[in-house]
């Protein structure tokens, strides 16, 4: 399956609307809308091989989020205090908070890239599109869930769970591993 240029442009436009600096929404609302949009789009195109494009799009999207955060801080003194909270030393925080660079340039600068990292964004609820895509697919192949009756209840496990099992394993070992995957 191939994703058309029109679909990529449509997705990017939707993400742009959500991450506009002037959109009156909280950061958590913005993250929730981003995750919903990304998950819907990725579920539709889950069979396509799009890792390279998603990696590029994720980087662009993180810069957009950094830009929203930078714009939300508004005043130089608030920028300085927040940079200090993020671990920047006093001199750099002061100079970067009063920079004459535009917001997009600051969002792509080392000062924000190293402080507002993917881990910090994850803590706020952001899920990278590539990460979501890789959890939903395995090497470009959709992992179809299989239903099993374990411990008296029906359980759905992805097929990739069985790749680690050897064909020479006893039934008890297989059931043991399946049960550990459920937890």
| Cβ 58 vs Cβ 129: under 8 Å | yes
pLDDT of res. 172? 59
pLDDT of res. 181? 62
pLDDT of res. 138? 53
**Which parts of the chain sit beneath pLDDT 70?**
137-183
pLDDT of res. 46? 87
pLDDT of res. 22? 85
């Amino acid at each position: 399956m191939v994703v058309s240029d029109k679909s990529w442009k449509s997705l990017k436009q939707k993400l742009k609307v959500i991450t506009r600096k002037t959109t009156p929404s909280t950061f958590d609302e913005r993250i929730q809308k981003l995750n919903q949009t990304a998950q819907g789009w990725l579920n539709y195109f889950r069979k396509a091989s799009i890792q390279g494009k998603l990696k590029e799009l994720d980087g662009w999207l993180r810069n957009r989020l950094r830009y929203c955060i930078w714009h939300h801080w508004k005043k130089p003194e608030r920028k300085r205090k927040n940079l200090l909270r993020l671990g920047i030393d006093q001199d750099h925080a002061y100079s970067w908070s009063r920079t004459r660079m535009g917001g997009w340039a600051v969002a792509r600068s080392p000062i924000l890239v190293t402080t507002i990292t993917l881990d910090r964004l994850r803590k706020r609820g952001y899920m990278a599109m590539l990460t979501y895509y890789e959890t939903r697919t395995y090497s470009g192949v959709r992992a179809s869930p299989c239903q099993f009756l374990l411990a008296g209840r029906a359980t759905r496990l992805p097929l990739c769970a069985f790749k680690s099992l050897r064909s020479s394993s006893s039934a008890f070992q297989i059931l043991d591993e399946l049960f550990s995957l459920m937890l």
